[in-house]
């Protein structure tokens, strides 16, 4: 059997897609980023039933209400994982069953971007499901076992996210709420609002891009919304740019951000520069 080596020419010719997450405080306008995308080529994965912010947006949407539906749509969008046995979610058997229910997966070919709003709600649906599984109850007493529920929830969320991350022919963007935490020593930390700690800790390592949509104050004390895109930012926002093409602060326009990520790569010296030219802006304190 010949080793299936992918040559450099084959790899460079492959379609490049982006998997990312956008965190931001409630009300900052994350859902409204749909207006910056091509409506004809974007599928709105609407978990929050929060489409009032994009009323009039002409794109298509799906509205899963349960964790089972979230898993079904994930395998329908991303295809099966051939490494999994038939009884597991995201397997070939799961994919076949979903295709029988929803029809020909070729109906998704028109979409190049999946916009998932929000991962915070997905986590809640997953945890509600996890609490009802046998693993969430003690074998001896039959009483609820919160540790078992959280353990199952963490594994389920990571499987779901990883499956969508491996959707090679589509961009996938997750949206989530960003919380501000202040400890006993008055130190500020910004963390994703996701049920359970495991998903929030591991999510930035799964996706290619981690962006924070926040309000920033400039040297003239004027505020504006912006994307914070790089790990080395002075405010401690959980951000990451695997593409090496973004500046620390970018315009909050998802369409333009994706074009820049797919554009020419920065030179290595530029990528390693950590200083932001000019006076450093100040983040607006989130209440």
* CATH code of the domain containing 134: 3.40.50
Cα–Cα nearest to 61, from 34, 89, 80: 34
The pLDDT score that the predictor gives to residue 196 is 86
% helix, strand, coil for the chain, step of 5:
35, 20, 45
pLDDT digits (tens, 9 = 90+) for 117-150: 999 999 999 999 999 999 999 988 999 999 999 9
The pLDDT score that the predictor gives to residue 3 is 64
Find the mean pLDDT for residues 159-186: 94
> Is residue 187 a part of any domain in this protein?
yes
> Is residue 166 a part of any domain in this protein?
yes
pLDDT digits (tens, 9 = 90+) for 87-109: 999 999 999 999 999 999 999 99
Residue 226: pLDDT above 90?
yes
Range of the domain at 185: 18-209
How many Cβ atoms are within 10 Å of 187's Cβ, its own excluded? Answer: 9
> Is residue 228 a part of any domain in this protein?
no
Q: What is the 3-state secondary structure (H, E, C) of 141-190?
A: CCCECHHHHHHHHHHHHHHHHHHHHCCCCCEEEEEEEEEEEECCCCCEEE
Q: What share of the chain has pLDDT > 90, as a percent?
A: 74
Q: How confident is the model at residue 264 (pLDDT cuts 50, 70, 90)?
A: confident
> Is residue 56 a part of any domain in this protein?
yes
210 touches 233 (CB < 8 A): no
Q: How many domains does the chain have?
A: 1
pLDDT digits (tens, 9 = 90+) for 187-214: 889 999 998 888 988 998 899 999 999 9
The pLDDT score that the predictor gives to residue 16 is 79
Tokens describing residue 130? 């996890």
How would you class 268 by CB atoms within 10 Å of its CB: exposed for 0-12, middle for 13-18, buried for 19 or more?
A: exposed
> Is residue 246 a part of any domain in this protein?
no
pLDDT digits (tens, 9 = 90+) for 54-81: 889 999 999 999 999 999 999 999 999 9
């Amino acid at each position: 059997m010949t080793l299936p080596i992918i040559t450099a020419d084959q790899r460079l010719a492959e379609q490049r897609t982006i998997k990312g997450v956008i965190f931001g405080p409630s009300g900052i306008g994350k859902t409204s980023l749909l207006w910056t995308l091509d409506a004809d080529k974007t599928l709105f994965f609407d978990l929050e039933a929060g489409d009032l912010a994009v009323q009039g947006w002409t794109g298509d949407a799906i509205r899963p209400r349960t964790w089972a539906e979230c898993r079904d749509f994930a395998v329908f969008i991303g295809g099966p994982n051939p490494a999994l046995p038939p009884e597991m979610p995201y397997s070939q058997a799961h994919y076949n069953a979903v295709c029988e229910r929803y029809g020909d997966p070729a109906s998704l070919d028109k979409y190049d971007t999946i916009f998932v709003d929000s991962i915070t709600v997905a986590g809640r649906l997953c945890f509600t499901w996890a609490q009802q599984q046998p693993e969430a109850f003690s074998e001896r007493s039959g009483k609820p076992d919160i540790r078992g529920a959280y353990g199952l929830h963490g594994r389920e969320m990571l499987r779901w996210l990883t499956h969508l991350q491996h959707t090679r022919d589509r961009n996938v963007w997750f949206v989530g709420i960003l919380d501000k935490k202040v400890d006993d020593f008055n130190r500020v930390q910004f963390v994703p609002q996701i049920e359970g700690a495991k998903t929030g800790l591991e999510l930035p390592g799964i996706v290619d891009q981690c962006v924070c949509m926040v309000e920033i104050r400039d040297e003239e004390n004027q505020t504006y919304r912006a994307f914070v895109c790089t790990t080395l930012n002075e405010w401690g926002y959980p951000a990451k740019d695997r593409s090496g093409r973004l500046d620390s602060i970018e315009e909050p326009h998802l369409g333009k951000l994706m074009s820049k990520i797919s554009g020419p790569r920065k030179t290595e010296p530029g990528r390693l520069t950590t200083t932001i030219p000019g006076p450093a802006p100040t983040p607006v304190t989130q209440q």
